[in-house]
């Protein structure tokens, strides 16, 4: 039993660390939805379809985050950069506000996880 503990513990610890580094454990789409509702729905709408109350006055219109084709065309890092640093940081519209000053890294990763859930 003691040998088993010695051999399994490093494997479990390594896997856990790897998941934490990659954000697997930290990403909580439910928590992300709460922050999305608080910070993003004014432009992107309740379901992320770009139809929030302010959308009509924005040019270009906010992105439909639920669009499966768009979802397939970007990686999580892109979504994170745009959310944290704003649209201009990724060569997109400067109308997309940078939220990195208002949200923690954990919140940002949670929002990315929530956005990824929108095309389900």
Residues 6+ apart with CB under 8 A from 100: 83, 84, 85, 108
What would the pLDDT profile of 50-59 be if each residue is shown by its tens digit?
999 999 999 9
Number of independent structural domains in the chain: 1
The first and second tokens of residue 36, run together, are 């999305």
Residue 76 domain-assigned? yes
pLDDT at 99 (0 to 100): 98
Q: Is residue 14 part of a domain?
A: no
Query: pTM of the full predicted structure?
Result: 0.78
Domain range enclosing 56: 27-117
Is 8 a domain residue?
no
Is 6 part of any domain?
no
CATH code of the domain containing 44? 1.10.760.10
Give the ranges where the chain is alpha helix by DSSP (H): 2-21, 29-39, 41-44, 68-73, 76-85, 105-117
């Amino acid at each position: 039993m003691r040998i088993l503990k010695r051999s399994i513990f490093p494997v479990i610890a390594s896997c856990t660390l790897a998941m934490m580094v990659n954000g697997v454990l930290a990403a909580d789409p439910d928590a992300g939805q709460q922050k999305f509702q608080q910070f993003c729905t004014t432009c992107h709408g309740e379901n992320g379809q770009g139809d929030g109350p302010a959308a009509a006055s924005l040019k270009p219109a906010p992105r439909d985050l639920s669009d499966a084709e768009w979802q397939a065309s970007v990686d999580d890092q892109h979504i994170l950069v745009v959310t944290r640093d704003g649209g201009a940081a990724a060569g997109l519209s400067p109308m997309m506000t940078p939220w990195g000053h208002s949200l923690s890294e954990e919140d940002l990763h949670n929002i990315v996880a929530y956005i990824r859930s929108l095309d389900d």
